[in-house]
Copies of this chain bind each other. A is one copy, B any other.
Amino acid sequence: MSKSFSIGVDLGGTNLRVAAYGAEGVFLETISLKTRLADGRHAVVSDLCAAIASLLRRYGSERGCAGIGIGSPGPLELPSGIIRNPPNLTGWDGFNLRHAIESTLERPVSIENDANLAALAEQAQGAGKLLGSDSLCMLTMGTGVGSGFILDGKIWHGSSGMGGEAGHIVVDPEGQRCGCGGIGCLEQYASATAIVRMMSESSRTPASALEVAQWAMAGDPVAQAVFHRVGRALAIALTAVVNTLNLPLYVIGGGASDAWELFAPTMFQELLSRSYIYRLTAPNSDPMVEDKAGVASRTQICRARLGSEAGLLGACLYGLQDPLQQANELEMRIG
């Protein structure tokens, strides 16, 4: 067998996607299912493993399977693979997802936080590849605000695997109560859910974040103010990350990031006034202006390139790596 492939799983609260991915860099096949949350976690694991098994049968005869990457909503404890208090998987707290999958499949899998896998994909194949950057922070504006950090080319897990929750940076210490138990987290001001809530508080109730964006595009000042709040919240959270980590690249994705033109101007303006590291390293928009900072490296903030594909692609790329090596690395780091 000259070619190898991997299998990637993107386990979401709504959709379950399983793909076979060729090492040459193409999706061989994608299986899309609904996540049967109402039928319990074992039903979901059963669907997930059945899809993996069918892909293993179909492609395993002609190619070697390098590994299986599983993207799970967090927080996820690593290396154990136990899910902790997941906001979008009710009743899964304490569930050992790794063990459930491995005992069904009877083979090892690589399990990882879904936001980290999206970040890995953007680094390897998306915005990071474009800019030649091996470190980045990715924020995903969806139902919540997920995030993942790639530092020197590797997913940063933190000491118990629960790193990367930039959606829970405090942006308003006396603000909105968050699902995480905290107060005024970024997620309460920059998620699709938050956009709907902020609009409802100020004016009419929209059907979705997309509708708020449409109203804003049509000139509704209240809807426009909602997106200014989004941009401001992102800037306050990014200030924390830019000033502490000084990463070369910040990638913003997720469905609500489609409203980029509505929130990005406020975000950049607030970042320039709030983060002095950003001020020193912001790209010069005008090439005729002398580069005062003269710094070796710039801070780029841009939209994600891979869209909703990122999580699934990241799982496939993670699967292509040797799972035993990943487990050893994690053991070493986490002890």
> Which residues of A are at the interface with B, using a C-beta cutoff of 8 A?
75, 77, 79-80, 82, 84-85, 133, 135, 147, 149, 151-152, 156-166, 168-173, 180-183, 232, 236-237, 239-241, 243-248, 273-277, 279-281, 293-299, 333-335
Closest to A178 in B: B276
Find chain B residues with CB under 8 A from A170 CB: 171, 236, 239-240, 274
Question: Which of B151, B164, B274 contacts A151 (CB under 8 A)?
Answer: B151
Q: List 11 A-B pairs, Cβ < 8 Å.
A: A158-B245, A158-B277, A159-B246, A159-B296, A160-B281, A162-B280, A162-B295, A163-B245, A168-B277, A181-B273, A296-B334
A151, B169: Cα distance in complex, Å? 20
A307, B4: Cα distance in complex, Å? 55
Nearest Cβ on chain B to A188's Cβ, whole angstroms: 13
Given the known interface contacts A160-B281, A170-B171, A236-B170, the answer about A182 and B275 at a Cβ–Cβ threshold of 8 Å is yes
Given the known interface contacts A181-B273, A276-B168, the answer about A159 and B239 at a Cβ–Cβ threshold of 8 Å is no
Question: Which of B85, B160, B163, B171 contacts A173 (CB under 8 A)?
Answer: B171
Q: Does A244 contact B164, Cβ atoms closer than 8 Å?
A: yes
A235, B236: Cα distance in complex, Å? 16
Closest to A77 in B: B295
A243, B148: Cα distance in complex, Å? 11
Question: Which of B149, B279, B280, B281 contacts A244 (CB under 8 A)?
Answer: B149
Nearest Cβ on chain B to A244's Cβ, whole angstroms: 5
Q: Does B163 contact A244, Cβ atoms closer than 8 Å?
A: yes
Find chain B residues with CB under 8 A from A157 CB: 246
Find chain B residues with CB under 8 A from A294 CB: 77, 82
